[in-house]
Structure 1
Amino acid sequence: MGAFNGQGWLQLGELALAFVLSALIGVEREIRQKSAGVRTYTLVGVAAALFMLVSKYGFNDVLRPQVVVDPSRIAAQVVSGIGFIGGGVIFMRRDIVRGLTTAASVWLTAALGMACGAGLPALAIATTIGHFVIMFGFPKIISRLPASRKNGTVLRLVYEDGRGLLRAILLCCTRCRFAIEQVRLSTHPSDQRPSAVTLFMQVKGKRPISRLVEKLSEIDGVWEVETTEDDGLE
């Protein structure tokens, strides 16, 4: 195989890099149990890289002095076309919009895949690092902003139904001196947890939210406690 026709080790390496980087982002989303997981992100990243490689090398056999091909056209179509997948993970339930951050990260994954396919590995790696800085670093920074304290923090809890735990959760928040602004319950049973109830609540207080999360996690029957993204109750 030769690199001159777009099917050499260089191109396979670019596809492999797109595979690894997009899978890393997918793992982070999978751990957070978002609507798009590791398979979706890996497919988007690898497909975007392949589109770029096709755009760069796929027309070498038809190129002639009188034939002009614009390799940027496919890249432009990927940018607009990925919006269909991003739109598919955004949904509105009553007055609550969810999936905006997931859609944005899908778009970012397509961009890093295109960077891999275009032969820009440094940019792709930097983009992946930037993703993790945004997802893990920004929430900590935002939680310290005055506006964030004013608007409150959205907590997501998963607990066992039928044990009266909602009262215990609300009481725990009160004892930790957190005011409860909004509460929303959602029941999505699964094979592993048929009696699971998901609770979203916006709380506001002057104390560190990590202290409240720790106390809520200690309640028997509460399986998961985490701070959610901005698309939780907005």
Structure 2
Amino acid sequence: MDGQGLVQLGELALAFVLSALIGLEREFRHKSAGVRTYTLVGVAAALFMLISKYGFMNILVPSQVVLDPSRIAAQVVSGIGFIGGGVIFMRRDVVRGLTTAASVWLTAALGMACGAGLPVLAVATTLGHFTIMFVFPRLVRRLPRTRRLASDISLSYEDGRGLLRDILVTCTQARFTIDHVRIDKHPLADDENGGTVPERAQTGLVAMSMQVKGKKPVSDLITRLAAIDGVRSVDSAGAEDELE
């Protein structure tokens, strides 16, 4: 057994086909890792296993030199983490690429199964991958959704500093949607004679009221808004109402 026969070529070919199928699914969904990356990972993992099994036959001596092929499998699992970590990134406080990284990891395991001579497990794993990618999203959409909460927020901030954009961005980053926005420049306040005058008209305060909807407590959003430089006050007017 020199490890270069039809059996080993068949195991490499099986790893090529199965990993390419997974790569085509990822390519179809326009993910960061496509068919070439997945095919290379699967074939390389299978080749590593074949090298571990047959690449050192000429130096084995009975009762003197013993090799452990499982060490190569352990090193492949550790090394594939570099590729998986490269496709994970964060955008607007949301982590993306976790599914792609996990599927790259799965493809490496699939390739190792082919190289280890376990074709049934490799095919079953591939079928499991497509079940997860195509069937699970439909099941998730049927799950009951968490109710969103609506709250009225009123705040005042200094005019002329571009704070409205910062306020809206902060709401979006906190995963709140905004509705019914009302803006009033120079809110009125009582003067010394009992009348009303524009409050801090010299600096130009802006009064803003809006309704926000989100799954998180509105107190988290209020804390973020109050931390913006130039925001003078933030209040939540009224109780939170549950919406479907």
**TM-score, normalized by length of structure 1?**
0.62
Which has a greater percent of helix? 1
Mapping for residues 1-234 of structure 1, pairs under 5 Å: 4-65=1-62, 66-146=64-144, 149-150=145-146
Query: CA separation in 2, counterparts of 1:62 and 1:182?
Result: 67
Tell me the SS of whatever aligns to 1:6.
coil
> What is the distance in 1 between the residues matched to 2:147 and 2:26?
25
Q: Distance in 1 between matches of 2:58 and 2:90?
A: 48
Structure 1 position 87, deviation (Å): 0.3
Structure 1: runs of 5+ lacking an equivalent: 153-179, 184-202, 205-234
TM-superposed deviation, 1:121: 0.2
Structure 2 Cα separation of the partners of residues 92 and 78 of structure 1: 26
Give, in whole Å, the separation in 2 of the partners of 1:122 and 1:150.
40
Question: What residue identity is the alignment partner of 1:150?
Answer: T
Report how many aligned residue pairs link the two structures: 153
Q: Which runs of 4+ in 1 moved over 6 A?
A: none
Aligned-pair Cα RMSD in Å:
2.0
Structure 2: distance between partners of 1:27 and 1:83:
21
How far the C-alpha of 1:68 sits from its partner, in A, is 1.0
Give 3-state SS (helix, strand or coil) of 2:90's partner.
Answer: strand
Quote the Cα distance in structure 2 between the aligned partners of 1:143 and 1:181.
21
Change (3 A) 1:64 1:85: same
1:94 shift after superposition: 3.4
**Cα distance in 2, alignment partners of residues 70 and 45 from structure 1:** 21
